[in-house]
Amino acid sequence: MTTETGVGTHAATRGRAAAPMGTGRAGDRIFAGAARGSGITVLAIVAAIAAFLVWKAVPALQENEANFLTSETWDPNATPPEFGIAQLAFGTVLSSLLAMLIATPVAIGIALFISFYSPRRLASGLGYVVDLLAAVPSIVYGLWGLAFLSQHMDGISAFLNATLGWIPLFGGDSPGKNSIFTASVVLAIMILPIISSISREVFLQVPRANVEAALAIGATRWEMIRMAVLPYGRSGMIGASMLGLGRAMGETIAVAMVLTFVPGINWHILENGGATFAANIANSFAEASVTGRGALIASGLVLFVITLLVNMAARAVVARRKEFA
């Protein structure tokens, strides 16, 4: 009797486990439907945004007399209108990559210090401060960059130009304070709290057994981090860096306040001048004509596509790392 009851219970349990999602309890069905509906809603919103941008951009693109992808000229209010995104794409990608290169090592170092080196009381306070910096509005960073940082960039720009001037990026004849480099530093400070917060949460998820095993075989704290923490959190660090890169690409006010617009692509990041998609939209939208607004929307569509490609690349890298892990 007992055996038959046990067999029946086991069969019933196995039947419930094998039941497809959505055929169980009412709560499970509701949750599954809500989750599926949320995912579909997000995809629909993204598709609607893309469709709106294309709809508004097509008339301006039809009137454009220049090559939209390769031209450096931006004069959509002229007759006939001429505009291209070459300079905007160059400035956006370059400033965002520089910001990520500056911010990522510092942010990961902060996350490692808070997670493994600092005392517990100090770690909680530092974590709170980092999270608080992530909530500071971008206009505050822009005002700080305009009123303080840019006024103190002459020295470091001259030093980099004199020391690393043989590298094209740091070359040029007249290093200035309203340059791509200054804008990249402001962006790096803006995205640093995001990368640091996410990386810290990833490091805290490292299995305690891995950490203790590394220490038990005589590893130093840095060796423990190198062998147990960094390999485990590599995908999380990549995801955090890509999230910071996405914010840097779409930043508007801070870059618009710091960076001086000068037409043409300039590889010398220490010289004044440059442009990005977001800053150009913020500076030009109020005075734009109908065709000019369409041109700005078209540039926003390109930024939308670039951001989407960056996120897709980040997902692919993270998935590949998980596969090898």
Q: How far apart are CA 94 and CA 92, in angstroms?
A: 6
Q: In which band, very low, low, confident or very high, does the pLDDT at 7 lie, cut at 50, 70 and 90?
A: very low
Comparing 262 with 105, which gets the higher pLDDT? 105
| % of the chain at pLDDT higher than 70 | 91
What's the pLDDT tens digit per position in 18-30? 445 445 688 888 9
User: How much is the pLDDT for 24?
Assistant: 62
Q: How far apart are CA 145 and CA 179, in angstroms?
A: 12
User: How much is the pLDDT for 108?
Assistant: 92
The mean pLDDT of the chain is 83
Q: How far apart are CA 121 and CA 243, in angstroms?
A: 29
**pTM (whole model) above 0.75:** yes
Find out whether 261 and 274 touch, Cβ atoms under 8 Å.
yes
What's the pLDDT tens digit per position in 175-232? 778 888 888 999 999 999 989 988 888 888 888 888 888 888 888 888 888 888 888 8
Domains of the chain: 64-324 (1.10.3720.10)
Q: How far are the Cα atoms of 77, 81, 117, 216 from residue 294, in angstroms, in the given order?
A: 10, 11, 52, 63
3-state secondary structure of 19: coil
Q: How far apart are CA 302 and CA 185, in angstroms?
A: 24
Core vs surface per residue 283-298: b (16+ CB within 10 A) or e: bbeeebeebbbbbbbb
Q: Which of 106, 116, 80, 278 is nearest to 183 (CA)?
A: 278
Give the pairing type, strands 74-75 and 82-83. antiparallel
User: How much is the pLDDT for 22?
Assistant: 46
Q: In which band, very low, low, confident or very high, does the pLDDT at 267 lie, cut at 50, 70 and 90?
A: confident
Query: What's the full length of the chain, in residues?
Result: 325
